[in-house]
Amino acid sequence: MTPIGIMSAMHEELAAVLQALPDEQRVQVAGRDFWQGHWHGRPVVAVLSRIGKVAAATTATALIERFGVGQIVFTGVAGGLGSGVKVGDVVLAHGFVQHDMDASPLFPKHEVPLYGRSRFETDVDLSASLRDAARAVLAQVADHVGPEAVSEFDLQSVRLHEGLIASGDRFVSTTAECRSLQQALPEALAVEMEGAAVAQVCADYGVPFAALRTISDRADDDAHADFSRFIRAVASRYSVAMLSQWLKNP
């Protein structure tokens, strides 16, 4: 069976994934630890993406070239940009754009030179099966994060959003920058630092790609006092629960 690549953005998420693999073996490539094992009987390779577009692109390329993965699923956190996209919600990416790509006037702003496009779509079928898993987990949030986290982070009415995610090599943490991103890319629901790079690598190789991002902050002046706590208490639990649910019911 062709292995599935699982990329986590944060250490805490990868640690939660590794706990679910009974038989993982570490293989080092390009200074990264890749973990080969099985989850619900399916072969997987789990790895930390590392932060930023170049690091994530190298990780994705190694997953495809060295480990022969047939699909890649990414889980991580992101800042909410769209209205109503709040902390604790999840965004299923339909596609990605690099908000810091600008080779104008030679190419239109955001267009990746020589690709003739600015957006890299995710795989429709893979995303559909992840959608079911994400919905199932969000319907029972307290079972996965516990009632304390539900009240601490106000997770009573969390939602799954779907649409465009913007990626760039910047942690967006001022209201001014958040506003200018919202103006430049009004469709973008969330902002993070890796997805567009992985989407581009997967497009180059023809490997199906899907991504789920838990909203950890609103990419504004409050982003973010409790970032690490949120990742530990909420985001990493969502990720492992959604991946587990997805692998159980492919």
- Which residues sit at the interface with ligand SAH, rule CB under 6 A? 9, 51, 76-79, 171-173, 191-194, 216-217, 219, 223, 227
3-state secondary structure at position 192:
strand
Please give the Cα distance from 163 to 181 (Å, whole number): 16
Cβ-in-10-Å burial (0-12, 13-18, 19+) of 183 comes to: exposed
Residue 12 annotated as catalytic: no
CB of 221 to ligand SAH, least distance (A): 11
Measured from the CB atom, is 89 or 217 closer to ligand SAH? 217
Instruction: Give 18 or 136: the residue with its C-beta nearer to ligand SAH.
Output: 18
- The nearest distance, CB 67 to ligand SAH, in angstroms, is 21
For residues 51 and 136, which CB has a smaller minimum distance to ligand SAH in the complex? Answer: 51
| Residue 173 neighbours by CB distance under 10 Å | 17
Q: Which amino acid is at 184?
A: A
CA gap 183, 181 in Å, rounded = 5
Q: 3-state class of 147 per DSSP?
A: helix
- Min dist. Cβ of residue 68 to ligand SAH (A): 25
Asked about 13 being catalytic, the answer comes back as: yes
Closest residue to ligand SAH using C-beta atoms: 79
Closest contact distance (angstroms) between CB of 92 and ligand SAH is 16
Distance in angstroms (rounded) separating the CA atoms of residues 32 and 74: 16
Q: Which residue out of 12, 13, 177, 192 is catalytically annotated?
A: 13
Residues identified as active-site: 13, 217
